[in-house]
Amino acid sequence: MQYTEKILTTQKAFDVFSSDYVDLIPDRAKKAIDSRNWLIEQIEKSPQNDLSFPNLYKEKNGKMMGSFSRKTKIRPLDDIDLLIVFSANGTTYHSFSDRTEMYVPETAQNLLLLSNEGKLNSIKVLNKIKSALKSVQNYSQAEIRYNQEAVTLKLKSYEWNFDIVPAFFTSPESNGRTYFVIPDGKGNWKKTDPRIDAQRTTKINQWHSKKLLKVIRLLKHWNNRPLAPKMGSYLLENMILDYFEWRSLISSPQVAIRDFFEHLKIAIYSNCIDPKGIQGDINTLNLDEKIKVAAAAGRFATICNGAIIYEILGDHENAIKEWKKVFGDNFPSYG
């Protein structure tokens, strides 16, 4: 990418790099939200078009989940996760250690059609959504994602797809908590709660005067470079949030990124517990991968520290050269 602005300070280089290369383009993000709203309207017409389509829980329907909803997604804007929430109509559930099963009463005829002997089959529900999407205009293809947890809707006009996840919203359990129950990829279901992730990200970002989201996006860009085994995006986000939840306020992205690398070279060997209290340890990297991530984190912490020293000394040209080692050739050059 050719930058048209003069880059004479490290902070300017970061600002331009974020806005021109890392962050989503604002008008495309807005267009994506508009297309999501239109898609929800079309899906909500499905019970009218197909009398066997289960009723939707419109008050909860259309909730976005994933990095796009948390404003931590980076370019390219390629997919948006979307919950399509159905009315349970008296369906009950029971959670085992490895799955959640849903039991449909005789009165819920449309859900019973998607069941095996009264047990709701998530793959049948996915297929029902896929079938309904055939009538939606402006979309080229709908297919069940390979892990059988969502229907991926490919667009004709835009660069992003929608990963549509069927869900049910639970009544409060004995501890007062409610959940969304979504496909587990094997025909059964599993609990999740994207509200927890969204609230946590917002809370910690606000504590840091709204500077943390930029740091998260920059670190996710670094993670996409072939410099070490790639960490899962959700794992990386939660390790960043775990670290900054108890840190003093971010002074600059430069210092925040250096400090996180220093933390990561040790923390990568530890558990990272799902903040929703559902999945347990989400750090599933094997030992060899952890060793390589730790080595990369230590190496880049040293590079970042050198860049910060150059910046303190007023040598922005060499500071920017060091940051280019971290973020690659698309990071702006001095001058």
Mean pLDDT of the chain: 95
Question: Residue 2: what pLDDT?
Answer: 59
pLDDT score of 306 more than 90: yes
Phi and psi torsions of 174, nearest 5°: -60, -25
Question: Residue 70: what pLDDT?
Answer: 97
Average pLDDT of the segment spanning 126-146: 85
Would you give the distance in Å from CA 127 to the centre of its chain? Answer: 24
Average pLDDT of the segment spanning 185-199: 97
pLDDT band at residue 325 under the 50/70/90 scheme = very high
Average pLDDT of the segment spanning 49-59: 95
Question: Residue 3: what pLDDT?
Answer: 65
Q: Tell me the range of 135-139, 227-231, 320-324 where mean pLDDT is highest.
A: 320-324
Average pLDDT of the segment spanning 301-323: 98
Question: Residue 223: what pLDDT?
Answer: 97
- DSSP percent split of the chain into helix, strand, coil, nearest 5: 45, 15, 40
Give me the domains of the chain, ranges plus CATH numbers.
10-18+198-327 (1.10.1410.40), 44-192 (3.30.460.90)
Question: Residue 214: what pLDDT?
Answer: 98
pLDDT score of 32 more than 60: yes
Q: How many whole angstroms separate alpha carbon 221 and alpha carbon 198?
A: 20
**pLDDT above 70 coverage of the chain, percent:** 99
pLDDT band at residue 189 under the 50/70/90 scheme = very high
pLDDT score of 1 more than 70: no
**What are the strands, taking DSSP E only, across the chain?**
64-65, 79-86, 92-95, 100-103, 115-116, 119-120, 139-144, 151-155, 161-169, 180-183, 189-192
Question: Residue 257: what pLDDT?
Answer: 98
Per-residue pLDDT of 12-26, as tens digits, reads 999 999 999 999 999
pLDDT score of 36 more than 70: yes
pLDDT score of 155 more than 90: no
pTM of the prediction?
0.94
pLDDT score of 135 more than 90: no
SS3 of residue 93 by DSSP: strand
pLDDT score of 141 more than 60: yes
Rg (CA), the chain: 23
Q: Are 239 and 264 in contact (CB under 8 A)?
A: yes
Average pLDDT of the segment spanning 166-179: 97
pLDDT score of 137 more than 80: no
Q: Which of 144-148, 200-204, 289-293 has the lowest mean pLDDT?
A: 144-148
Average pLDDT of the segment spanning 208-227: 97
Average pLDDT of the segment spanning 64-91: 96
Q: How many whole angstroms separate alpha carbon 104 and alpha carbon 117?
A: 9
**pLDDT above 90 coverage of the chain, percent:** 91
pLDDT score of 146 more than 90: no
